[in-house]
Structure 1
Amino acid sequence: MDKTKMENVTNNLLNLIFHVNNKLFNHSEIVKNNAIPPSHMKVLFHLLNIKSTSVSNVAKCLDISKPNMTPIIDKLINEGFVHRYTDPQDRRKFKIELTDKAYKFLEEKKIEMKNNLSERISSLEEDDLINLDYHITEMSKIILKIK
């Protein structure tokens, strides 16, 4: 693709991200009534997708410094959301994973977020909703191809 077209695609994608963020996700609503800070939520949602990993891997993926990760993980362990265990492959390393309590909590958060999204898009006409559904599905297929 030539440079101009690529720049157009990246500008449009960036604008879409901003619009989705501003129109559909009110971050204060997401973290409201939460005893867990946003940084801790990021860790929980990250672990939801990768199941079990090292603390340093989470820190690297979420761009959180290792010294900042320790209190986050400690609080999540104390709250009963994360379990830390010795890596069976290398006893010098520790891994972390979500607990059943965390899975239940995240499922409740997911339902809350879906309800909020549903409420926000309910003002759209049926044709717009059908178009939105189609284009989201197509965009998801394309975005999942990105390495």
Structure 2
Amino acid sequence: MESQTQPSLSQQFVEIMVLLHNKFGRQAQVPLPLNQFGVLCAISDTEGMAITDISRQLNVSKQQMTNIIDKLVSAGYVSKETDSQDRRRIVITISQKGTKLLENHLEIFRQRFDSHAQKLSQPEKNELSRVLRRYYELINKMFSLQ
């Protein structure tokens, strides 16, 4: 009898990411290139981040990140400021315009998700909610700084 092997955790994670991208993300029509949108998401709830930190978090080279940041600065979505503690360090902060764009688009994501969730029964919605909360907790635990 052949034994069925379970996919690894990393394989399951990748499959979920691809599924979300294909079934949800692609149709979302992000108003910016994904790399720029990702920067807004990364810095949205910070007091500002250095380009090096953003590039490390998003796994993008510092050279590419500099180009992405320059485009966001030109569009008025972020600003560059010299760190008051270390004059050599440049801090990137999200602007009011960037925050508004991000909030509007995240609301579109939520509405789209809620619309698709209507296909589920109440017990299925409850189970999905429980699973998503736990998924969030575990992923956060895996990637938290220690």
Same fold (TM over 0.5): yes
CA shift in 2, pair 1:33/1:53, >3 Å: closer
Identity of matched residues, %: 22
C-alpha separation in 1, matches of 2:45 and 2:105: 15
Q: Which residue of 2 aligns with 1:77?
A: 73
Query: Is the Cα contact below 8 Å between 2:43 and 2:94 reproduced in 1?
Result: yes
CA shift in 2, pair 1:46/1:33, >3 Å: closer
Number of aligned pairs? 138
Aligned with 2:121 (options 101, 121, 125): 125
C-alpha separation in 2, matches of 1:18 and 1:55: 30
Unaligned runs of 5+ in 1: 1-6
SS of residue in 2 equivalent to 1:89:
coil
Aligned with 1:42 (options 38, 41, 55): 38
Q: Which residue of 2 aligns with 1:28?
A: 26
Q: Which residue of 2 aligns with 1:4?
A: none
C-alpha separation in 2, matches of 1:22 and 1:117: 14
In the superposition, the TM-score normalised over structure 2's length comes to: 0.81
SS of residue in 1 equivalent to 2:44:
helix
Amino acid at match of 2:112: N
Q: Which residue of 1 aligns with 2:64?
A: 68
SS of residue in 2 equivalent to 1:50:
coil
